[in-house]
Amino acid sequence: MATCPVLQKETLFRTGVHAYRIPALLYLKKQKTLLAFAEKRASKTDEHAELIVLRRGSYNEATNRVKWQPEEVVTQ
């Protein structure tokens, strides 16, 4: 049975001017790509959801690390 790599904990969506809620992570094994999604909000309350955002990560098996791309908007 194949084993899944254990990756180092990393903060992808930092709260500051905006809040991020309901994160999701998807691993595409063939592409060695991680897709991290979250709702970008004006505040932490449910009424202020603005956008769905995504960060793509390329997994390097040799180093067991992920190189993350900048945040991009999925929907408006």
* Residue 26 domain flag: yes
Domain membership of residue 67 (yes or no) is: yes
Specify the number of domains making up the chain.
Answer: 1
Q: Give this prediction's pTM.
A: 0.82
**CA–CA distance, 54 with 72 (Å, rounded to integer):** 5
Any domain includes 15:
no
Note down pLDDT in tens along the chain; length 76 residues.
456 677 888 899 888 888 899 899 999 989 999 999 999 998 877 777 789 999 999 999 899 899 999 999 997 6
Domain that holds residue 35: 20-75
Q: What is the reported pLDDT for 74?
A: 92
CA distance 25 to 14: 16
The answer to the question of residue 10 being in a domain is no
DSSP state, 3?
A: -
Residue 50 confidence (pLDDT): 82
**DSSP-assigned states of every residue in 10-67:** ---S--SSSEEEEEEEEEETTTTEEEEEEEEESSSSGGGEEEEEEEEEEEETTTTEEE
